[in-house]
Structure 1
């Protein structure tokens, strides 16, 4: 039977053995998928359902167990370079990071990469590039879809516990970040990649065939993630990696362990070890090595505007010295001085509830957080009354206390920056303290939710990013709504990330939406400004708030491809000359 089958395929026993050998080689290099036929479609993405941790719930008990398990292992130790088998050298000089809510307790200690370690990480990534780039998209997609299920299942509570203790988030803030948003990024980025690959020419001339080859970038991508969202690191590596790129990932020091855990999940999901190189250590050292490498092809960055500007300058210097083969793409989402605008017709109690969440959740440490608000004079008394009432209900405390609405700021540096600004505002005669204006770092880095009323709309509190639980109010005359729109647009530190209007007057809504078109990359109507959900609202601003590539959309992934267009003709060219070139009578 076997011999007959071989003959039917034109094979001898010798050629069968040779074919088997070639197949084994193909399977080893990841091309076995070419032996099947068909055009594959990735599954439709969905938003991960949130757990709510109600008293007595199963998820609250599971989280309590995960927190106890993690606390028993503190301080966790993180190697300089991430891999499945990486360990921390007992003689290594380790950097300690403390728990924000209890700074006497060390949460993690991480080793720092040397210049040689960073160079090794880059070369390891580049060696992995060909096999990863050549892997069919359906296989790359499967890895990230598997990772999404690991995030939402096996590792969910471990991720939440690490985010709570390491970043000071309460259970709900950790849930919407480290579980739901991280899983959403993995699932939706797969869908966005499919969307890009599906973009092919729709018109071809007779006997012509055009197509687009969505190539990954030729070198490597450098991803730099911030402290405030565990999910962001997962997005900054999954977006370029899905498109066939290799990535060197530098997380914020405060998230060394959380990022290591995300990296571990990706490796467990099947990501080849070289594809994403996690590197901990000194940001300046790591960045210097990256920006001096010929294969540096892109930066994917989230952090401060000033740091991003500096990286632009550094890249420009590299261009001037002709260091790079490519023109590196610089994609960044940076700072914000985000606004709420209450119109005279607004439902003020509703606006207040949205504002409390937008300004004070996670101690205001979201790039989208509300830090300035404009209130009509006719509604100001009600506004301040409602704000006092709601803020009186808020508890500031440690993340393990489920009654804590908000918690500490991330570290001593942040605490000192915000408390210094509060001191200056408290002494300013133009600034009236409505609520808060106090702070305490005796146990953790706690700053009270603070609400100011400021008489001058050009005051520095409307321009300086504090990245903390401080909200400045300007009360405007009702008949100067349009003038207030101009103030909103021209102030805010030059940033343009998020903003909104609360109004029941559609004419006012339309005027604000049009006049503030460039004041915010994410604009909301009767909704708080910390409301972007992947697949529903992509996220990112312009002006000094970044390059507006829109995380949670195919726009960000497009930054990490270098499309090649191909054209094939099936007919023959019979003549060099065009009809217009012919002499009279020649035709």
Structure 2
């Protein structure tokens, strides 16, 4: 160990590239997009640093051009899961014993590589494989992932620095051990940054990890794994194991060495995981840490004093950026009757200007949803609204999967505040609006609070400060990330720690010190410099 205290530089958020016409950044990214589109690759599992090919394969396609195959990837089965657990446990002692400054140096180097030479690789892979526009990819797979690497490294040093009080005759210390076993990281398709964060934040703290990427994001996630390897991540610390979630989970949850789960995905899957862990609790060496961010039915609640121009921008960006496939996306809105007619006219005018298509055309605001399953699910909600006498579709509603999985930005107006599309998570470009009477503000706020089982994000719009105070008070538990006069999406690492409660997860705030604490197992140490030599206490001298 080094005979010095080391400080990690306090990070600043990674600047966002604009990719303006004629810029070198745009030129390099366009070249990388073309290269990836034209060169199909094979993606192996990576276990103990070795590339494993199982022969059981699936394909990575382009959602906005579904006939275009980017890669063929191999999938893990029982044999490979057992191999990955063994590889992780074999390297665990060496990894957790590595001086923390050397562990963190790997991830800080990964951040630097991603901010430079790897930026176009990861962004292009995300744009093609997940149908993200250039801006949505840039803020996700470049900037946010860089921020996760840098800020989490910094937060870990802050935790290590926190120590208890000591006395003149005793030195009290706390060491922050990793968990005893391996972490199972299960990552989603919609954010490459989350996919990169979920396995690396535990690894920074000295844990070893099995990483199961989403089947619809294997392409970009593979390049994140290769980035980590180039940054110097030792073999076996993170093991990359694409495959079917049910099959992989069956063997992972059966291992006595399961120490934690880091998950982002559906509420139903997370609840099943939690139940399975509970049923197996007696076989584990420790109580597994369960950290999850699941779903949302995120709201925009509007007071009649709201500024309509900023509201419209927030509604469009909040509901339709990345095709509404953000767990934070605005999915329901409550609008006062007195401003509805003006808002409706201007909102529809703005939505009519939205362009949708191939992400390689930088003039497009939206692209395709992720796959056929998502397309069919979102379409079923739109059809439900079309056939209901409680709802009216005032724009959009058309779905076309002939070339890619395209769904128009859709706005539904309902007379029922507990209509299906006001309650259930859709995960697509569908916004449902309920118009309330101005004198029923309090009642409607309570409806907003009670309608959905989720509690992830929410936004309120008002210029009246008294109204803002009231709205925030009533909606106090309705969102883990709460926005005032802003859209409910776009949390930034180091600025708005992200996560929600209720059916939206454990609210352990990704990209914060709170999350890093979950991957540590403290040991309290007391060293006595002057221990007693007699068991008797002074009070025992009573005459």
- TM-score above 0.5, yes or no: yes
Match of 2:366 among 395, 406, 415: 406
Conservation of the 8 A alpha-carbon contact between 1:83 and 1:264: no
Q: CA deviation at 1:574?
A: 4.1
* Residue 79, structure 1, aligned to residue 44, structure 2: yes
**1:187-202 map, 5 Å:** 187-201=150-164
* Residue 318, structure 1, aligned to residue 280, structure 2: yes
Q: CA RMSD in A?
A: 1.2
C-alpha separation in 1, matches of 2:302 and 2:234: 51
Q: CA deviation at 1:459?
A: 1.2
Scaled by the length of structure 2, what TM-score is found?
0.98
Q: CA deviation at 1:363?
A: 0.3
Mean Cα displacement is larger for which, 537-546 or 449-458?
A: 449-458
Structure 2 residue ranges without an equivalent (≥5): none
Match of 1:165 among 124, 128, 132: 128
C-alpha separation in 1, matches of 2:366 and 2:539: 76
Other-structure match for 2:23: 57
Structure 2 counterpart SS, 1:52 = coil
Mean Cα displacement is larger for which, 216-225 or 40-49?
A: 40-49
Conservation of the 8 A alpha-carbon contact between 1:80 and 1:281: no
Other-structure match for 2:352: 392
C-alpha separation in 2, matches of 1:119 and 1:235: 24
Structure 2 counterpart SS, 1:81 = strand
* Residue 140, structure 1, aligned to residue 119, structure 2: no
Match of 1:212 among 159, 162, 174: 174
Structure 1 residue ranges without an equivalent (≥5): 1-33
Other-structure match for 2:498: 539
* Residue 296, structure 1, aligned to residue 258, structure 2: yes
* Residue 351, structure 1, aligned to residue 316, structure 2: no
Conservation of the 8 A alpha-carbon contact between 1:81 and 1:113: no
Other-structure match for 1:22: none
Match of 1:222 among 181, 184, 189: 184
Other-structure match for 2:234: 272
Other-structure match for 1:13: none
C-alpha separation in 1, matches of 2:50 and 2:292: 32
After superposition, give the CA deviation of every residue in 1:187-217 in whole Å (9 maximum; x if it has no partner): 011011111111111x223311111110100
C-alpha separation in 1, matches of 2:351 and 2:125: 28
**1:89-488 map, 5 Å:** 92-201=55-164, 203-319=165-281, 322-488=282-448
Structure 1 counterpart SS, 2:290 = strand
C-alpha separation in 1, matches of 2:484 and 2:223: 37
Structure 1 counterpart SS, 2:46 = coil
Conservation of the 8 A alpha-carbon contact between 2:49 and 2:239: no
C-alpha separation in 2, matches of 1:257 and 1:122: 23
Q: 1:82/1:73 Cα in 2 relative to 1: closer, same or farther (>3 Å)? A: farther
Structure 1 counterpart SS, 2:163 = coil
After superposition, give the CA deviation of every residue in 1:387-419 in whole Å (9 maximum; x if it has no partner): 101101101111111111011100000000000
C-alpha separation in 2, matches of 1:391 and 1:83: 49
Structure 1 counterpart SS, 2:403 = coil
C-alpha separation in 1, matches of 2:68 and 2:36: 13
C-alpha separation in 1, matches of 2:309 and 2:421: 24
C-alpha separation in 1, matches of 2:178 and 2:280: 22
Match of 2:524 among 547, 565, 586: 565
Structure 1 counterpart SS, 2:263 = strand
Conservation of the 8 A alpha-carbon contact between 2:311 and 2:461: yes
C-alpha separation in 1, matches of 2:162 and 2:344: 51
Match of 2:7 among 41, 59, 82: 41
Conservation of the 8 A alpha-carbon contact between 1:146 and 1:269: yes
C-alpha separation in 2, matches of 1:44 and 1:295: 35
Conservation of the 8 A alpha-carbon contact between 1:77 and 1:110: yes
After superposition, give the CA deviation of every residue in 1:355-406 in whole Å (9 maximum; x if it has no partner): 1001000000000000000111111112111210110110111111111101
Conservation of the 8 A alpha-carbon contact between 1:81 and 1:280: no
Q: CA deviation at 1:108?
A: 2.1
Scaled by the length of structure 1, what TM-score is found?
0.91
C-alpha separation in 2, matches of 1:185 and 1:82: 24
Other-structure match for 2:537: 578
C-alpha separation in 2, matches of 1:263 and 1:457: 45
Conservation of the 8 A alpha-carbon contact between 1:82 and 1:260: no
Conservation of the 8 A alpha-carbon contact between 2:39 and 2:70: no
After superposition, give the CA deviation of every residue in 1:322-366 in whole Å (9 maximum; x if it has no partner): 221111111000000000111111101111101100100000000
Conservation of the 8 A alpha-carbon contact between 2:305 and 2:463: yes
Conservation of the 8 A alpha-carbon contact between 2:323 and 2:367: yes
Other-structure match for 1:16: none
Q: CA deviation at 1:146?
A: 0.1
Query: Max radius of gyration: which structure?
Result: 1
